[in-house]
Structure 1
């Protein structure tokens, strides 16, 4: 049967949050078992969002059912349900840390608890969600095992992901964030064992460096991978950031290849539009990254890095999904299935689901 969306749309300017679930021509035949995926007729947007912040840094969040409606409408069938571990103070009027230099942004459990309560209250099946622990303070790892124990007590079996957590995030330096040290990383062993024993992936934000010092912090991720070779480690944004927009693509790809070859437990995360805006969209660069992804099709997952602040709406999410999915158009069929259609994400989470095969041309 054709993969063209069969769900009915709902019209009207005054739609409620629930009504947002009406699907566009985007949802398509991404349901496993309904036949192959026709790339010529179906959308190229990713069908999993492995990096989605259901809670903002501060202020009001988009209501849970409204946000899950965004996913349903856009054809996203699975998502990792991140909070924001690093929150602005409750008495702050800011909703985004960059607008408030000098205001401390510190790890907190509040967003994780809100996410878990929303999830337990609804347990949505379309989209299916993997609730994540984002409270982890990598600079104070001794606080993490007791935190996990508390989560186990309050929400047994709910948390299936960890992160996004910050190893080093330069954008937060004005908000009192400091990079974790080599000594900190050594002391992660107790909580990393818990994640390893449970098969829980951990998404780590670890900047490679800045335009002035492009690999200044590379050693921190290298040490993490060396010390925890049996953990499922996801490197957010492939180490790129707004502080590093001028790195030679060949140099960056070379580093990624080396680390993937040396560390079988490493997965790269393509989330955040800075990758498209600062790298993939430049002349000749998209083809280089596509060739790299085609060579390592099983080692990459997609995501938007959308932050669900109440000042955003469906159109903002739709745009972020489209922008972060543009690289999918350049992938070969194997990489497209593994990345855009979710095969790698399912495997990383240990799900029984499989992505549809891509239809053969002609």
Structure 2
């Protein structure tokens, strides 16, 4: 009898363990729409570890890009910075990030390679040569690139650290990039703060709106709904609603601080954002926004389960994977004169 009891208990524990394991991942088949393969010093934990963490989280595929800005290690600093806020040293735009990403991805077996959708990110958004650089990469790596971004426009402290004038979403250099994106049907993922740290109104939304309306054939993904460190716009959902209604070529990714500090702060805020997502079910996506290191990767993806539970199954599936998949080009992108 005791043998029977312990056998049944073991089966029960095993069953519970399987349920716990299944519940530890994403509730729906998921794609990561926002993943930096490299950090601010161009270091990475590598693809093998990333794949293991994606599998642990239940993430099938990911949009991946490098880091277009490098944090300088100044002679005045005794330790090498890992993150842009670690020291007071300056930062600079770094085009080689795209070549590093391509070199790592092209070495992978086809089964691994097919899980990643690489974007070109390494441009200076103030340089009128930026569009030409992107087209050069398309020519050098035929059929490889599937999007552009994350482009760095206004970005609070990072903007202050980076050499050059403050970037903006409607800068002439970026306008050329958007036109090139339309030519190749490449989506554009852009970080552009919707406001400053000292204002509670969306004072920079107009720059983004002008870019959107001037480029109706370009698909834009506005990272973090315009939110960054110390950016607090109380009417963010209302402004997002207005922009989505006015600009059919706009989508939002919900990664990083907008989720942690605006969406998931309470059941009421979750419900408010869920209602907005249900209103525009094909215009939102999720992402980890991890930066070269994967220790907390599963948590950064499975946190969205709270939001997914608030949505209808159809909308949740769109948010988890279908929307970002539908943004990508339908055929390999090759250079055309």
Q: TM-score, normalised by structure 2?
A: 0.82
Measured in 2, the distance between the counterparts of 1:326 and 1:85 equals 31
Q: Which residue does 1:48 correspond to in 2?
A: 31
Shift in alpha-carbon separation, 1:218–1:256, aligned structure 2, 3 A? same
- State the SS of the aligned residue for 1:330: coil
Q: Displacement of 1:118 after TM fit?
A: 1.3
Stretch of structure 1 that moved more, 82-91 or 155-164: 82-91
Shift in alpha-carbon separation, 1:108–1:59, aligned structure 2, 3 A? closer
Would you say the 8 A contact 2:34–2:64 is kept in 1?
yes
Q: Displacement of 1:59 after TM fit?
A: 5.8
Measured in 2, the distance between the counterparts of 1:143 and 1:235 equals 23
Q: Displacement of 1:27 after TM fit?
A: 9.3
Q: Which residue does 1:192 correspond to in 2?
A: 178
Q: 2:311 aligns with which of 322, 331, 344?
A: 331
User: Is the radius of gyration larger for structure 1 or structure 2?
Assistant: 2
Shift in alpha-carbon separation, 1:305–1:216, aligned structure 2, 3 A? same
- State the SS of the aligned residue for 1:81: strand
**2:131 counterpart of 1:151:** no
Can you give the 5+ residue segments of structure 1 that lack an aligned partner in the other structure? 1-23, 29-41, 353-362
Stretch of structure 1 that moved more, 63-72 or 123-132: 123-132
Q: Which residue does 1:111 correspond to in 2?
A: 97
Would you say the 8 A contact 1:301–1:344 is kept in 2?
yes
Q: Superposed, which structure 2 residues align to 1:194-209 within 5 Å?
A: 194-209=180-195
Q: Displacement of 1:274 after TM fit?
A: 4.3
RMSD in angstroms over aligned alpha carbons? 2.5
Shift in alpha-carbon separation, 1:325–1:123, aligned structure 2, 3 A? farther
- State the SS of the aligned residue for 2:171: helix
Q: Displacement of 1:175 after TM fit?
A: 0.9
Q: Superposed, which structure 2 residues align to 1:1-362 within 5 Å?
A: 25-26=21-22, 43-44=26-27, 47-58=30-41, 60-89=43-72, 93-101=80-88, 103-126=89-112, 128-140=115-127, 142-176=128-162, 178-181=165-168, 185-210=171-196, 212-214=198-200, 215-245=202-232, 247-248=233-234, 251-309=235-293, 312-313=294-295, 316-340=296-320, 342-351=321-330
Measured in 1, the distance between the counterparts of 2:120 and 2:21 equals 33
State the number of aligned residues.
305
Stretch of structure 1 that moved more, 202-211 or 77-86: 202-211
Shift in alpha-carbon separation, 1:116–1:94, aligned structure 2, 3 A? same
Measured in 1, the distance between the counterparts of 2:122 and 2:133 equals 8
Q: Displacement of 1:210 after TM fit?
A: 3.4
Would you say the 8 A contact 1:52–1:80 is kept in 2?
yes
Measured in 1, the distance between the counterparts of 2:67 and 2:305 equals 23
Q: TM-score, normalised by structure 1?
A: 0.77
Stretch of structure 1 that moved more, 58-67 or 260-269: 58-67
Measured in 2, the distance between the counterparts of 1:64 and 1:308 equals 10
Q: Displacement of 1:54 after TM fit?
A: 0.7
